[in-house]
A and B are shown apart, each in its own frame.
Chain A
Amino acid sequence: MKNVPMVTVYIMGDAYKVPNDCTIVGAMEYAGLQLTTGVGCREGFCGACATLYREKGDYKLQSGLACQTVVTDGMYIAQIPFVPAEKPLYRLEELKPTVDTIKEFYPILFCCVACNTCTKSCPQDIQVMDYVQALIRGDIKRAAELSFDCIRCGLCALRCPAEIVQYNAAILARRLTGKYLLPESPDLVARVKEVREGKYGAELDELVKMDEKTLSKRYYAREIKIEP
């Protein structure tokens, strides 16, 4: 360890010396903090580790995933344990995929002034503001497409000056799109029918019996079929 260059970071205000190639999660654990919330898959997929930071000499408040962001010398870090975001209840089968549905459940979307702060804050490089704008004009399918890579870290909602809960509205958009706006997948219909008939045991048994290495190999070799 003695050859690893060290940097100083400030975690919740306290200074720690950590190796310069640490991620923010790595730095916090190196510093001896036990993370019980605000951390998850450590692979950039689960969205649990939203973080806010400032870098030395830069006035901008930046955001990202703690497991994907490498520390820099003089960085100030705050970990976000949870994002309290409004989430209305609805029954999808009673909705129509129209702008009026969006207006009913997420009226706050219409306060968007297109400042683009949400897009700047997104660690997934999603055009967040553009999908909000698509929802405002009722282009639900476009919103679903643009928001598809969302991992629900909540940074967009935290940073929005109009208090919009972008990522929850995006879920509604994707649900409406899946249910009403995309063609039905014949494979899915066939598979659901099989599952209803109880035909699912064999594949599951096969996976349960696999050792970790084979399972991992199978996972990464899986085919994802894109419907036309």
Chain B
Amino acid sequence: MQLPYYPGCTLKNHAKHFEDSAIAAMERLDMPLVEMEDWVCCGTVFSMSSDDLMLQVASIRNLVRAEHQNLSELIVLCSMCYNTLRRASDFILSDPENLDKVRKFMYLEEKPFDGTVEILHLLSVLRDRIGWEELGRKVVRPLANLKVGGYYGCLLVRPEKYAIDDFEAPTIIEDLLGALGATASPYPYRLECCGAYQTVTNKDVTVQRTYELLNSARNAGCEAIVTSCPLCAFNLDQRQRETIEQFPDFDPMPVFYFTELMALAFGANWDPEWTKLHFVNPEPILRDKGLI
């Protein structure tokens, strides 16, 4: 069964390894991801920062185009795109006046927005359509001895209405990691914010977050963490450059996209190009566990 999916901008450049690995992993599950045509930026969460309808238009256009392409659902990999698309859709549909205004402004689009497309995160598709047991049976290269923590951040579980799992005590990432044969250790800060866009104007805030978050994971026994958000990945991986400078006691820790570990577990080979997009080289730990 093919899954129509929405990639989002970052997955086409600085998070290419996120997309590539997801495609590789899902091919091996016989559920290939098929990119929707003519998608645009999701609008990122700034569209949630006010009630300005103009800022919802990017999200809504993707949904209009998906409707026009007769897609009944869109599978999203990036937490931010997932969260933004769902909330924008609900925001417009929740108020007939909003819907009317947006339709009037978008009078030259493919069709009027109806809100018929269901927006799903890949993680919930894995859980609800395949199931952890079945996923476990597809594993050809178990991630044995890999102690890894799931990092949820904000956008997979907040606000509660859009959470892909229990919003206070989610297990979906740990369940996936367990199915792949890894040892998933929950740690206290796994739902904490990574600092998000503070990374642009207030870099030190994210450096502090990275230090605290990754130490929290390490203290729970994790050797690496996984995420599904390119902004979290940037803050927690790339910002380790500054974290090492500011905190002499800090030990670097690899940060994976969950799909990279899926790809390995389902038998795809590690692509050296993925390594280039990481700041902390993940190859030593993968080699150590016999995964590459």
**Residue positions of A touching B, CB distance < 8 A:** 98-99, 112-116, 119-120, 129-130, 133, 136-139, 161
| Inter-chain contact A113/B61, CB cutoff 8 Å | no
**Chain B min CB distance to A128 (Å):** 12
CB-CB < 8 A to A129: which residues of B? 40
Q: Choose the segment among B50-58, B178-186, B245-253, B262-270 that binds chain A (4+ C-beta atoms closer than 8 Å).
A: B50-58
Which residues in window 13-53 of B have CB below 8 A to A? 13-14, 38, 40-41, 43, 47
CB-CB < 8 A to B9: which residues of A? 133, 136-137
A114's contact among B12, B14, B41, by CB below 8 Å, is which? B41
**Chain A min CB distance to B68 (Å):** 14
Task: Please report the C-alpha to C-alpha distance between residue A120 and residue B107 in the assembled complex, in whole angstroms.
Answer: 10
CB-CB < 8 A to B57: which residues of A? 113-116
B54's contact among A113, A137, A138, A139, by CB below 8 Å, is which? A113
Q: A113-B57, A113-B58, A139-B12 are in contact. Are A119 and B38 (CB under 8 A)?
A: no
A99's contact among B13, B105, B109, by CB below 8 Å, is which? B13
Most chain A CB inside 10 Å of its own CB: which residue of B40, B43, B54: B40
**Chain A min CB distance to B136 (Å):** 35
B108 CB-CB contact with A under 8 Å: yes
In the complex, given contacts A115-B105, A116-B108, A133-B9, what are 20 additional A-B residue pairs having Cβ atoms less than 8 angstroms apart? A112-B41, A113-B55, A113-B57, A114-B41, A114-B57, A114-B58, A114-B61, A115-B54, A115-B58, A116-B57, A116-B106, A119-B108, A120-B108, A130-B40, A133-B41, A137-B9, A137-B12, A137-B13, A138-B12, A161-B54
Task: Please report the C-alpha to C-alpha distance between residue A48 and residue B43 in the assembled complex, in whole angstroms.
Answer: 33
**Chain A min CB distance to B32 (Å):** 21
Closest residue of B by beta carbon distance from A127: B38
| Inter-chain contact A136/B54, CB cutoff 8 Å | no
Which residues in window 177-213 of B have CB below 8 A to A? none
Closest residue of B by beta carbon distance from A120: B108
| Inter-chain contact A116/B61, CB cutoff 8 Å | yes
Q: A130-B38, A133-B41 are in contact. Are A116 and B109 (CB under 8 A)?
A: yes
Interface magnitude class on chain B: 10 to 19
CB-CB < 8 A to A139: which residues of B? 12
Closest residue of A by beta carbon distance from B62: A114
Closest residue of B by beta carbon distance from A138: B13
Task: Please report the C-alpha to C-alpha distance between residue A114 and residue B58 in the assembled complex, in whole angstroms.
Answer: 5
CB-CB < 8 A to A115: which residues of B? 54, 57-58, 105
24 contacts between A and B (CB under 8 A): A99-B13, A112-B41, A113-B54, A113-B57, A114-B57, A114-B58, A115-B54, A115-B57, A116-B57, A116-B61, A116-B108, A116-B109, A120-B108, A129-B40, A130-B38, A130-B40, A133-B9, A133-B40, A133-B41, A136-B41, A137-B9, A138-B13, A139-B12, A161-B54
Task: Please report the C-alpha to C-alpha distance between residue A6 and residue B177 in the assembled complex, in whole angstroms.
Answer: 76
CB-CB < 8 A to A98: which residues of B? 13
**Chain A min CB distance to B45 (Å):** 13
CB-CB < 8 A to B43: which residues of A? 113-114
Task: Please report the C-alpha to C-alpha distance between residue A120 and residue B54 in the assembled complex, in whole angstroms.
Answer: 15
CB-CB < 8 A to B47: which residues of A? 113
**Chain A min CB distance to B108 (Å):** 5
CB-CB < 8 A to B108: which residues of A? 116, 119-120
**Chain A min CB distance to B49 (Å):** 12
CB-CB < 8 A to B41: which residues of A? 112, 114, 133, 136-137
Task: Please report the C-alpha to C-alpha distance between residue A133 and residue B43 in the assembled complex, in whole angstroms.
Answer: 11
Q: What 1/0 flags go to B232-276 for Cβ under 8 Å of A?
A: 000000000000000000000000000000000000000000000
CB-CB < 8 A to A120: which residues of B? 108
CB-CB < 8 A to B105: which residues of A? 115
Most chain B CB inside 10 Å of its own CB: which residue of A99, A114, A161: A114
**Chain A min CB distance to B142 (Å):** 35
Q: Give the 8 A-B CB pairs with smallest separation, nearest first.
A: A114-B58, A137-B9, A137-B12, A133-B40, A138-B13, A99-B13, A114-B40, A115-B57
Task: Please report the C-alpha to C-alpha distance between residue A99 and residue B109 in the assembled complex, in whole angstroms.
Answer: 27
CB-CB < 8 A to A136: which residues of B? 9, 41
Closest residue of A by beta carbon distance from B7: A137
**Chain A min CB distance to B10 (Å):** 8
CB-CB < 8 A to A137: which residues of B? 9, 12-13, 41
**Chain A min CB distance to B85 (Å):** 13
**Chain A min CB distance to B275 (Å):** 18
Closest residue of B by beta carbon distance from A60: B107
